[in-house]
Amino acid sequence: MNDLYVDSSFRKQGIGEALLRKAIAFAKSENATYVKLETAEDNYTAQSLYEAIGFIKLSLIDGYYSYKFDINT
């Protein structure tokens, strides 16, 4: 994934979660095995959302955390 962004006036309405779930569903329909994304080390809001959905934090490189969601889990 690249550049998931929800305008500040529309945040906290479930839009980010809906977009992520749609991306996961698309990946699954295309027989992908996982979805991977990155977020800035200090983007705690995004990290919280990703982890709540089931993404697993993998590593920190150059100030960005890498996350992975396994489709078949």
pTM of the model: 0.87
> How many separate domains does the chain show?
1
The pair of three-digit structure tokens given for residue 57, joined into one six-digit string: 């934090």
Is there a domain that residue 3 lies in?
no
Residue by residue, DSSP assigns the chain as: -------GGGTTSSHHHHHHHHHHHHHHHTT-SEEEEEEETT-HHHHHHHHHHT-EEEEEETTEEEEEEETT-
Mean pLDDT of 13-27: 95
Domain containing 64: what range? 8-70
Is there a domain that residue 2 lies in?
no
State pLDDT tens for residues 44-69: 999 999 999 999 999 999 999 999 99
